[in-house]
Amino acid sequence: MQNASVWTEKVLIPTYGIGEAERNPVFLDKRVYQGSSGKVQAGAGV
């Protein structure tokens, strides 16, 4: 059986700064998932 090691340490993860909010953000209207086409695929039993 192998030994396991556990430790704690502070980690700094660099991220982008927060910019100003978009007045008109780019969202697709009336879609459950952003980018979905809304087309329905035929099922196997059709």
pLDDT tens for each residue of 21-45 = 888 777 666 666 666 666 667 766 5
Q: Compute the half-sphere exposure of residue 40: CA atoms within 13 Å on the CB side of its CA.
A: 4
Residue 31 is encoded by which pair of tokens?
A: 């879609």
Say what the pLDDT of residue 34 is. 64
pLDDT for the residue numbered 13? 93
Three-state SS for the chain is CCCCCCCCCCCCCCCCCCCCCCCCCCCCCCCCCCCCCCCCCCCCCC
Q: Does the pLDDT of residue 11 top 60, yes or no? A: yes
At 24, the amino acid letter reads N
Structure tokens at 3: 């030994």
